[in-house]
Structure 1
């Protein structure tokens, strides 16, 4: 019996040793790879040699700037045209501020109001030139006034009252009839006042 126990114990010891040897063999078969381990250099990739850095895509995409554009010049403003000088009217150098004519009137109408006959007239003076040369206008001044007319006054007229360029004598009533048929004509007459402050002489001034 004692012999059997010793044999069993020996067998158990051998089995334990055998297992320990197997474990040690596996650990020795795959040693950890280290910097100095055989074959380590073949498995490790060598670091790449640093080269020129790649050009950024944005740098290559930028186009080379072309020549700067010159802004179009605006046309220079043209010089203002000199003001046109109008030709002076005939006799424009004459004095328009001459005094009112003392013995000439423009006759427009007549009225019998107030119990006596009166001519409705305007005073004024001649414009540039003279009525005998270039038909200068008689420029009236102020408002209409009344001047009594003597019913026996001496009256002479020309065109358009009569067909003539020289004064022709007509009667007072004939003259009044023409004024009634042609009111506001503004024909110019030289006149003279009698002692009663009424017109006793009336001569038309011919104008072409």
Structure 2
């Protein structure tokens, strides 16, 4: 009896140990399965291990020229232009000469300012002053600047005389007689109209022409 009881207890212990081992194995298997599940969720929520972040070089467009394509103007090396040949700068042209301003003592040899006339001595004589053209003044006029005292110059009765305004109308000289000139001077004394003149061998005025510019 005692031997049989010992024999019976032996298999029971073996079954118990086997059941305990199976229970332990099942607990370990359950733990392992739970671990795989958590890992799977973590893997699903995160980035896949096989995937890699986008490469900056892949996102940015390539600036390299494709094979076989002609280089663009910006990519081509700039050609060197020849340096300009140094030239001597041209000298500025001198300004055009302006009207010369004569000194106050200068006298024009063939121009006079006529003021009046006189019939003394049986011949007509013009009362005049010699002078010269001065420098232009404000307004663009050029005065005839007289020099010295009044003097007398006889004029021929048949002298060739040309006159315009204010003696005659218009700006172009027209012929008048000595009598027409003296008549105008009698009614318009001391106007100082400027005339160019010439004299004959006797020193008498034979040609008298009114100048365009008057004082």
Q: TM-score, normalised by structure 1?
A: 0.52
Q: How many angstroms apart in 2 are the aligned matches of 1:201 and 1:191?
A: 5
CA contact (8 A) 2:128 2:153 kept: yes
- For residues 42-191 of structure 1, the aligned pairs below 5 Å read 94-97=101-104, 99-129=106-136, 134-191=140-197
What do the CA deviations read for 1:22-42 (whole angstroms, capped 9, x no partner)?
Answer: xxxxxxxxxxxxxxxxxxxxx
Misfit runs of 4+, over 6 Å: none
1:93–1:178 distance in 2 versus 1, CA, 3 Å: closer
Paired position in structure 1 for 2:211: 205
What do the CA deviations read for 1:74-109 (whole angstroms, capped 9, x no partner)?
Answer: xxxxxxxxxxxxxxxxx7983434731000000000
Q: TM-score, normalised by structure 2?
A: 0.50
CA contact (8 A) 2:102 2:133 kept: no
Larger % of helix: which? 2
Select the structure of larger CA radius of gyration: 1
1:147–1:93 distance in 2 versus 1, CA, 3 Å: closer
Q: How many angstroms apart in 2 are the aligned matches of 1:202 and 1:98?
A: 24
How many residues align structurally? Answer: 116
CA contact (8 A) 2:196 2:208 kept: yes
What do the CA deviations read for 1:21-69 (whole angstroms, capped 9, x no partner)?
Answer: xxxxxxxxxxxxxxxxxxxxxxxxxxxxxxxxxxxxxxxxxxxxxxxxx
Classify the secondary structure of the residue corresponding to 1:190: strand
What do the CA deviations read for 1:96-137 (whole angstroms, capped 9, x no partner)?
Answer: 34731000000000001122210000000111149xx93200
Classify the secondary structure of the residue corresponding to 1:99: coil
1:93–1:99 distance in 2 versus 1, CA, 3 Å: closer
What do the CA deviations read for 1:157-181 (whole angstroms, capped 9, x no partner)?
Answer: 0111111111111111111110000
Uncovered stretches (5+) of structure 1, i.e. residues with no partner = 1-90
Q: How many angstroms apart in 2 are the aligned matches of 1:150 and 1:112?
A: 12
Classify the secondary structure of the residue corresponding to 1:195: coil
Uncovered stretches (5+) of structure 2, i.e. residues with no partner = 1-97
